[in-house]
């Protein structure tokens, strides 16, 4: 029997860069998760008898919200819900399942790389039928509904067993508990030459960061590709990620970095994040920035069976370095520049205009799903290493020798008071027209604008996506506020300098004058009171 529960709106349920992310305690307020899930269902059509995928990264609150979501889905007319065993599904595996089973969409429960636990973060994201994050017109409709919602629907009944494969009935709806790994692993076998990787005899360290990729990496890397037991570290998903940030960068995956720079480093090192869509790539003695990784993967993708016929196009988010554009130019294929947020790649992938996409925020992926995919990037790297017989370092050096090098870094100022961060951006935006021609040290500003994206597939326009300051000679600094944080504001400053021939310099030294110019042009110290970034990646 369907029950109607009266409720009142919360005013803070606007989805950010990637769904609704808040502190666990916020989600634990009465009706909070229920309101948002019901708003999702109120905002979408064709639910009757449709299939819905539900899964999450296993963080604190995952199981509880899944049980609630199943009952709300049953009351809203869905015919079937697919749930990963244990409530687990990596974000790319959820995307694949939506596509494979022709689901109407999916609820992906994660706050990605943010920490988990009772005092940490939780999130809910809705993905549409192509497997990708809901586009802005859908998230806008969901948000509008959260502001007027006055009830949510549920069915009688208790929690179901999430840990046993098979089917159970909730209301009139079937719930199917599926193996979270099997379909995804099978997809990877179609894209990459597993036999060649196995035969290459490479050694590897993979840090699953006590998050969702543990079971996937253990099955694919150790069981199917024959990497030694223990290759996958921190392979058991924990509700609090062992108390760490499951963020695969040089700060939070520092132990892996130390291993890879040490005397006994294996050939290849990698890590993924809370929900399995990000990746960190480190060869023996060689860290590869996400922007470079995108370019190198695109340049070599034809070595993997899934991409043997070449790429249709390459897409990157605006703050990502232009290294991939150079590869696209050489390949004679289009390069696209989108706003930050994987959702902006979906239309290009659906239209067959791009095959590989990537972001500076450690995300790379292809048209095999509609999310970025951490293990996919790892496997493509392994396939390239196996096919070429070269090291990561050699591939990187060869790449820079061919294309030149985009020195790149991102400086994050976290937990800045929102008013101060907003003031910095408003101040900067107000001065954009006056900036061209301004000299700062040896740099001269050539152009300054606020990035707006015109989607070539549907004509939609997304404005105010980040301030770009371009210097004469091709160096660049970009300023934007993160859309994924849960407390205060995070100012991201993206720094880039292109060198055609000087490919072996220190990144910090190469970017020093741009760092100084960034502060001068935006008044970072003046506005935020911070003299140093919290995280440099």
Question: Active-site positions?
Answer: 112
Q: Where are the alpha helices (DSSP H) in 134-237?
A: 136-146, 182-191, 194-200, 213-217
Closest CB 112 distance from ligand G16, rounded Å = 3
Q: Determine if 479 is a binding residue for ligand G16 (CB under 6 A).
A: no
98: phi > 0 → left, psi -120 to 50 → alpha, else beta; which? alpha
Binding piece for ligand G16, criterion CB under 6 A, among 175-183, 457-465, 480-488, 519-527:
480-488
Complex with ligand G16: residue 146 or 484, whichever CB lies closer: 484
- DSSP 8-state code for residue 537: -
- Considering only residues 258 to 297 of the shown chain, the ones binding ligand G16 according to CB under 6 A are 273, 277-278
Question: Pick from 5, 14, 17, 224: which binds ligand G16 (CB under 6 A)?
Answer: 17
Site for ligand G16 in 360-399 (CB under 6 A): 361, 363
Least gap, CB of 462 to ligand G16 (angstroms): 13
Tokens of 391: 């090291």
CB of 111 to ligand G16, least distance (A): 8
**CB-based contact 395:296 (threshold 8 Å):** yes
Q: Is 482 in the site for ligand G16 (CB under 6 A)?
A: yes
Q: Which three-class secondary structure state does DSSP give residue 377?
A: helix
In the complex, minimum distance from the CB of residue 478 to ligand G16, in angstroms, rounded to a whole number:
11
- State the nearest-atom distance from the C-beta of 108 to ligand G16, in Å: 9
359 contacts ligand G16 (rule: CB under 6 A): yes
Q: How many residues bind ligand G16 (CB under 6 A)?
A: 18
Would you count residue 476 as binding ligand G16 (CB under 6 A)?
no
**Triad 115, 359, 17: Cα angle to 5°:** 55
485-524: contacts with ligand G16 (CB under 6 A)? 492
DSSP classification of residue 135: P
Q: Does 241 bind ligand G16 (CB under 6 A)?
A: no
Residue with tokens 């809370």: 274
Our finding on whether 346 is near ligand G16 (CB under 6 A) is: no
Q: Which of 15, 237, 341, 358 binds ligand G16 (CB under 6 A)?
A: 341
Main-chain phi, psi angles of 333, to 5 degrees: -125, 160
CA distance 511 to 303: 33
Secondary structure E strands in 121-267: 121-127, 151-155, 166-170, 173-178, 204-207, 232-233
| Whether the Cβ atoms of residue 531 and residue 416 lie closer than 8 Å to each other | no
> Considering only CA atoms, which of 379, 377, 350, 353 is closest in space to residue 363?
377
Binding window for ligand G16 (CB under 6 A); candidates: 326-334, 336-344, 377-385, 437-445: 336-344
Binding of residue 453 to ligand G16 (CB under 6 A):
no
Cα–chain center distance at 53: 19
User: Closer to ligand G16 at the Cβ: 15 or 341?
Assistant: 341
Of residues 20 and 162, the one with the C-beta less far from ligand G16: 20
Beta sheet of 467-471, edge-to-edge order: 439-440, 443-450, 467-471, 476-481, 489-499, 405-416, 535-536
* Per CB under 6 A, 413 contacts ligand G16: no
**Residue 468 interacting with ligand G16 (CB under 6 A):** no
Helix axes 392-403, 323-331, angle to 10 degrees: 70
Cβ closest to ligand G16, residue 157 vs residue 483: 483
| Lookup: tokens for 53 | 């995928």
- CB 104 → ligand G16: shortest distance, Å? 21
Q: Checking DSSP bridges between strand 314-317 and strand 335-338, what pairing results, if any?
A: parallel
Pick out residues in 95-124 that bind ligand G16 (CB under 6 A): 112-113
Interacting residue ranges for ligand G16, rule: CB under 6 A: 17-18, 112-113, 273, 277-278, 317, 340-342, 359, 361, 363, 482-484, 492
């Amino acid at each position: 029997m369907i029950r109607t529960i009266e409720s009142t709106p919360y005013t803070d349920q606007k989805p950010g860069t990637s769904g609704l992310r808040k502190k666990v305690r916020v989600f634990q307020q009465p009706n909070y998760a229920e309101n948002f899930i019901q708003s999702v269902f109120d905002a979408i059509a064709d639910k009757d008898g449709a299939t819905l995928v539900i899964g999450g990264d296993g963080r604190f609150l995952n199981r509880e919200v899944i049980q609630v979501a199943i009952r709300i889905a049953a009351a809203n007319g869905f015919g079937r819900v697919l749930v990963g065993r244990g409530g687990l599904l990596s974000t790319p595996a959820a995307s694949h399942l939506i596509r494979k089973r022709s689901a109407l969409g999916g609820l992906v429960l994660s706050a990605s790389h943010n920490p988990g636990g009772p005092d940490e973060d939780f999130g809910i994201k809705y993905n549409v039928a192509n497997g990708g994050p809901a586009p802005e017109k859908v998230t806008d409709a969901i948000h509008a509904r959260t502001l007027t919602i006055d009830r949510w629907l549920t069915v009688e009944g208790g929690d179901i067993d999430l840990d046993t494969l098979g089917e159970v009935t909730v209301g009139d709806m079937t719930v199917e508990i599926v193996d979270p790994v099997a379909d995804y692993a099978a997809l990877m076998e179609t894209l990459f030459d597993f036999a060649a990787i196995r035969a290459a005899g490479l050694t590897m360290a993979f840090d699953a960061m006590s998050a969702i990729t543990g079971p996937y990496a253990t099955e694919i890397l150790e069981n199917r590709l024959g990497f030694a037991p223990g290759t996958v570290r921190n392979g058991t998903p924990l509700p609090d990620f062992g108390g760490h940030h499951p963020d695969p960068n040089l700060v939070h995956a520092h132990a892996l970095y130390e291993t890879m720079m040490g005397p006994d480093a294996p050939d290849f090192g990698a890590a993924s994040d809370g929900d399995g869509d990000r990746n960190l790539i480190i060869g023996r003695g060689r860290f590869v920035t996400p922007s470079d990784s995108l370019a190198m993967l695109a340049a070599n993708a034809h070595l993997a069976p899934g991409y043997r016929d070449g790429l249709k196009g390459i897409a990157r988010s605006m703050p990502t370095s232009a290294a991939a554009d150079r590869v696209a130019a050489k390949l004679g294929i289009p390069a696209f520049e989108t706003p930050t947020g994987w959702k902006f790649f979906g239309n290009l992938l659906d239209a067959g205009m791009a095959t590989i996409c990537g972001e500076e925020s450690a995300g790379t992926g292809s048209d095999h799903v509609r999310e970025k995919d951490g293990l996919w990037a790892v496997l493509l790297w392994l396939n390239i290493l196996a096919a070429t017989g070269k090291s990561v370092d050699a591939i990187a050096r060869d790449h820079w020798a061919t294309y030149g090098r985009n020195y790149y870094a991102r400086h994050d100022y976290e937990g800045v008071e929102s008013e101060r961060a907003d003031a910095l951006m408003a101040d900067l935006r107000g001065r954009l027209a006056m900036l061209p021609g301004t000299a700062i040290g040896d740099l001269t500003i050539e152009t300054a604008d606020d990035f707006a994206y015109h989607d070539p597939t549907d004509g939609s326009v997304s404005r105010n996506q980040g301030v770009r300051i371009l210097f004469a000679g091709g160096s660049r600094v970009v300023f934007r506020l993160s859309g994924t944080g849960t407390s205060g504001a995070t100012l991201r400053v993206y720094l880039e300098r292109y060198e055609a021939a000087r490919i072996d310099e220190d990144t910090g030294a190469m970017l020093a004058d741009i760092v100084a110019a960034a502060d001068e042009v935006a008044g970072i110290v003046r506005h935020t009171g911070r003299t140093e970034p919290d995280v440099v990646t």
